Amino acid sequence: MNEDIKKEFEDFYSNSKSTGYEWIKETWNIIFWEYAHVNSALIDWFYINMDSARDIKTGWPMFVEMLGLRRAHIEHCELYPGSLGPTRKAFQYLKQMEEKNNMTLGLVLEILKDLNRHDLLNPSFIHWKDGIVKFQKWNRHSLSQFKKFDNKPIKNGNDLFETIPTKPIKHINSEFLSKERKHTRDCHYEFLSR
């Protein structure tokens, strides 16, 4: 290993132990699925790196088990190679579980921290913090769009009909319609008589 890279990793590892990843505290109110939606490339990179080292030593089975998958699901996930790797499949299972709808990014990152996966928490390797900033901008924008709608409460069912325009629809002139039908009929006769 290159000495510069080794020194950088050792500095990061020693700093991370002393700081305890304070930035992870910001992520406990971020729903993982929303974060993944906004930061799909970052999450894909995370999945790929989890897949590249998913043996017992790195704690991949323990990671997905701590997230809530059962042993049978874990064994099934390990069968998926390539772009639909085991980590992606594991998160697809988790997303289908109703009790995991509110799973936070903080939970995922804390489990990585507990399993000493400092390589995946390294901000120069996976840009979690940049993803948080991007997510917060997206969240502010979506909230501002939501506030543009009129949120007045409906007093009764008649309020709905008061907002619908009540102008009568102009009917098509029946004389015009009969002329059009006659013209169409004449065209058909002319074509058939040839």
pLDDT reported for residue 1: 44
Same domain, 106 and 173: no
CA distance 109 to 126: 12
Identify whether 158 is part of a domain. no
Same domain, 35 and 102: yes
Same domain, 142 and 173: no
pLDDT(65) > 60: yes
Count up the domains in the chain and report the number: 2
pTM over 0.85: no
Same domain, 117 and 173: no
Identify whether 160 is part of a domain. no
CA distance 115 to 26: 20
Same domain, 44 and 127: yes
Same domain, 79 and 45: yes
Of the given ranges (7-21, 43-57, 71-85, 95-109), which has the lowest mean pLDDT?
Answer: 7-21
pLDDT tens figures, 75-87: 888 888 766 789 9
Same domain, 139 and 181: no
Same domain, 136 and 180: no
